Amino acid sequence: MQRRDFLSGAAATLLPLGAAQAAPDALKPLPAVRWRLASSFPKSLDTIYGAGETLAKRVAALTGGRFQIRVFAGGELVPGLQVLDAVGNGTAECGHSAGYYYVGKNLGLAFDTAVPFGLTARQQNAWMYAGGGIELLRTLYAKYNVLQFPGGNTGAQMGGWFRKPIKSLADLKGLKMRIPGIGGKIMAKLGAVPQTLPGSDIYPALERGALDAAEWVGPYDDEKLGFHKIAKHYYYPGWWEGGPQLSFYVNQTVWQALPEAYRQAFEVATVEANQSMLAQYDAKNPPALLRLVGQGVQLHPFPKDVMLAARRAAFELYEAEARTNADFAAIYRPWKAFRDTAFQWFKVNEAAYANFNYYVK
Q: What is the binding site for Ca ion (CB under 5 A)?
A: 157, 215
Determine the Cα–Cα distance for residues 248 and 149; give it in Å rounded to an integer. 5
* Beta carbon of residue 140, minimum distance to Ca ion (angstroms, whole number): 23
CA distance readout (Å), 309 to 115, 117, 320, 344:
15, 12, 16, 22
From the list 184, 186, 239, 144, the residue with the least C-alpha distance to 197 is 184
**Residue 157 or 274 having the CB closest to Ca ion:** 157
**Residue 237 or 259 having the CB closest to Ca ion:** 237
* Beta carbon of residue 241, minimum distance to Ca ion (angstroms, whole number): 5
3-state secondary structure of 222: helix
* Beta carbon of residue 198, minimum distance to Ca ion (angstroms, whole number): 12
**Residue 92 or 119 having the CB closest to Ca ion:** 119
* Beta carbon of residue 313, minimum distance to Ca ion (angstroms, whole number): 18
* Beta carbon of residue 297, minimum distance to Ca ion (angstroms, whole number): 17
**Residue 56 or 277 having the CB closest to Ca ion:** 277
CB within 8 Å of 50: residues ≥ 6 apart: 277, 280
* Beta carbon of residue 58, minimum distance to Ca ion (angstroms, whole number): 27
- Lay out the sheet containing 67-72: strands in order across: 67-72, 33-39, 94-97, 245-251, 146-153
CA distance readout (Å), 214 to 44, 58, 174, 271:
18, 36, 14, 31
**Residue 131 or 218 having the CB closest to Ca ion:** 218
Question: For the residues of 128-167, what is the DSSP string, one character each?
Answer: IIISSHHHHHHHHHGGGTEEEEEEEE--SPP-EEESS---
Question: For the residues of 81-99, what is the DSSP string, one character each?
Answer: GGHHHHHHTTSSSEEEE-G
**Residue 35 or 234 having the CB closest to Ca ion:** 234
* Beta carbon of residue 212, minimum distance to Ca ion (angstroms, whole number): 17
**Residue 57 or 311 having the CB closest to Ca ion:** 311
Which residue number has the CB closest to Ca ion? 157
CB within 8 Å of 152: residues ≥ 6 apart: 48, 51, 96, 245, 246, 273, 274, 276, 277, 278
Cross-strand bridge partners of residue 70: 36
**Residue 45 or 250 having the CB closest to Ca ion:** 45
Contact 248, 148 (CB under 8 A): yes
Determine the Cα–Cα distance for residues 95 and 111; give it in Å rounded to an integer. 18
* Beta carbon of residue 277, minimum distance to Ca ion (angstroms, whole number): 15
**Residue 239 or 249 having the CB closest to Ca ion:** 239
CB within 8 Å of 305: residues ≥ 6 apart: 168, 169
Cross-strand bridge partners of residue 147: 250
Determine the Cα–Cα distance for residues 27 and 30; give it in Å rounded to an integer. 8
Contact 103, 181 (CB under 8 A): yes
Determine the Cα–Cα distance for residues 20 and 167; give it in Å rounded to an integer. 82
* Beta carbon of residue 168, minimum distance to Ca ion (angstroms, whole number): 23
